[in-house]
Structure 1
Amino acid sequence: MSSADSGGRAADIELSEVTVRYGTSKAPVTAVADVSLTVEPGEFAVLVGPSGCGKTTLLRLVAGFERPADGTVAVGRKVGVVFQQPRLFPWRTVGGNLAFALSRHGVARSGRGARIEELLALVGLSGMAGRRTWELSGGQRQRVAIARALAAEPQILLMDEPFAALDALTRERLQEEVRALASTGGTTVLFVTHSAEEAVVLGSRVLVMAADPGRLVADIAVPLPREPDTDVAALRGTPAFAALRAELASAARSPVAP
């Protein structure tokens, strides 16, 4: 990998001339064509674009769930994944779901209880280890899913439209929490969304994609405050926020790089 941050550490994610095809050899369908991108340690990179442009495909490549037909994918550190649906075990409690994740990552039984409470506190669910998952709201279940992904102490967090199924108020609240969590922990995040507003709220950098085939058409820095105590609600009402949201929306509608 050729990229490095100011401390000399290699890029966390690097895709080089990646192409993905589906279908048969006689009738292949190109889902993603010739995509190259680098995500540095600590960046919150957001992939935004219309449905079918290959956002989730790129995230699945980084997660190791798929392989490219051409090109290379390099991921430098431990990865955690949060999906659009929480995918929790309904027969386990909240704590049981987290305990299962911790056991998979080698945490001794004696240390799981304290770690579960740490994870729940991190996502605003302190004291809820004994609750059943079906007793939780949609937003609470997604918080548990985020806590489960953090159980492995990943340095890279992949998030595939995790708030898409939530109501607007819950979605905004979780956006603020994830933004603060990433800022505090220094985690590298690759986040998929189709919303220009969500991209501006969350990202330190936004990668805009177009479809047919999926490709990158813009790479836009988001020069907004990212401190953990930033008033995100106030930030949404600023002219700078509105201008960035309009720029992203325009770029997403364009079939070529601006």
Structure 2
Amino acid sequence: MPRTDTAGPIAPPATAAVELAGVRVTYGTAKAPVTALDGVDVRIHPGEFVVLVGPSGCGKTSLLRVVAGFEQPTSGAARVRGALPRPGVGAGVVFQQPRLFPWRTVGGNLRFALARLGVPRAERAGRIAELLERVGLPGTAGRRTWELSGGQQQRVALARALAAEPELLLMDEPFAALDALTRERLQEEVRALAGRLGTTVLFVTHSAEEAVLLGSRVLVMAAGPGRVVAELPVGLDRDPETDVAALRASPEFARLRGRLTEIMRG
């Protein structure tokens, strides 16, 4: 069992938002297999913001892809709200790169997603305006994606993921390619957004600071093969109206960041 820094047990709900039991993922051939994940057990409660941290090659993205239904475990079981994960069903996914259609406007990208979700044509304009307001980009529906900054494009990608009103949001290092200031602003927006909507989030990062700021719980992974070796509950204030600048400067934030860094190095 992975070690934990928790003060006491938390009674889990009857149905987990995400549950992985003995998940193993192997790539390559029978003669030269590469084990990306081995014996991974994870249970995520509805409404939790769980962050995965660990070195490159430890299987963070593979784990996320299993939860998204993009690939099947070689052995073990994966469930999302008690059912087998299926791509595009019940989970929104935000990648490291926005992956927008460059020939479409901002609104066109969101309109395409809404059409695939079966949203009636008459309702799409209103939904687009609501989604852009939600991610802090009001009035940008008519702009071309290439006219936006990297941070703005990532917000559009987030709005597209939220279009399906998913109960589960999967984010794979979505801010890694952004400058420090934009990254901090988007961290704060995602933290507040998840708090307001009560969305369950599984977030991948390499950064101890980002993990402590965003997560209600952090899972630490190690490679060779990929497995969860520790977890750190984060007891910081999760009110969407929290002053995040003050939170970053608090002694408890520094303590948790230091503790997580120590675990990751160990």
1:46-85 superposed matches below 5 A: 46-76=51-81, 78-85=90-97
Q: How many correspondences in the alignment? A: 249
Task: Name 1:36's counterpart in structure 2.
Answer: 41
Tell me the CA shift for residue 219 of structure 1: 1.2
Identity of aligned residues (%): 70
Q: Distance in 2 between matches of 1:246 and 1:108?
A: 50
Question: What CA deviation, in whole Å up to 9, does each residue of 1:58-78 have, x standing for no partner?
Answer: 000000011111100001181
Q: Paired residue for 1:203, among 194, 215, 229? A: 215
The one-letter amino acid paired with 1:114 is G
Tell me the CA shift for residue 4 of structure 1: 4.3
- Secondary structure of the residue that 2:72 maps to in structure 1? coil
Q: Distance in 1 between matches of 2:72 and 2:251?
A: 41
Q: Does 1:154 align with 2:166?
A: yes
- Secondary structure of the residue that 1:240 maps to in structure 2? helix
1:210-221 superposed matches below 5 A: 210-221=222-233
Q: Distance in 2 between matches of 1:134 and 1:27?
A: 43
Task: Name 1:189's counterpart in structure 2.
Answer: 201
- Which runs of no fewer than 5 residues in structure 1 stay unpaired? none
Task: Name 1:242's counterpart in structure 2.
Answer: 254
- Secondary structure of the residue that 1:171 maps to in structure 2? helix
- Secondary structure of the residue that 1:234 maps to in structure 2? helix
Tell me the CA shift for residue 250 of structure 1: 1.3
Q: Distance in 1 between matches of 2:235 and 2:100?
A: 36
Tell me the CA shift for residue 203 of structure 1: 0.2
Question: What CA deviation, in whole Å up to 9, does each residue of 1:175-200 have, x standing for no partner?
Answer: 00000000000000000000000000
The one-letter amino acid paired with 2:35 is T
Q: Distance in 2 between matches of 1:4 and 1:106?
A: 34
Q: Distance in 2 between matches of 1:211 and 1:242?
A: 26
Task: Name 2:5's counterpart in structure 1.
Answer: none
Q: Distance in 2 between matches of 1:218 and 1:210?
A: 9
Q: Does 1:97 align with 2:102?
A: no
Q: Distance in 1 between matches of 2:135 and 2:93?
A: 16
Q: Given that residues 217 and 251 in structure 1 are in contact (C-alpha distance below 8 angstroms), is that contact kept between their aligned partners in structure 2? A: no
1:16-31 superposed matches below 5 A: 16-31=21-36
Moved over 2 A (4+): none
Q: Distance in 1 between matches of 2:244 and 2:220?
A: 22
Q: Distance in 1 between matches of 2:232 and 2:75?
A: 26
The one-letter amino acid paired with 1:53 is C
Question: What CA deviation, in whole Å up to 9, does each residue of 1:37-89 have, x standing for no partner?
Answer: 10000000000111111111100000001111110000118111000000000
Q: Does 1:124 align with 2:129?
A: no
Q: Paired residue for 2:154, among 142, 153, 161? A: 142
Q: Distance in 2 between matches of 1:29 and 1:139?
A: 35
- Secondary structure of the residue that 2:39 maps to in structure 1? strand
Q: Distance in 2 between matches of 1:57 and 1:249?
A: 23
Query: TM-score, with normalisation over the residues of structure 2?
Result: 0.92
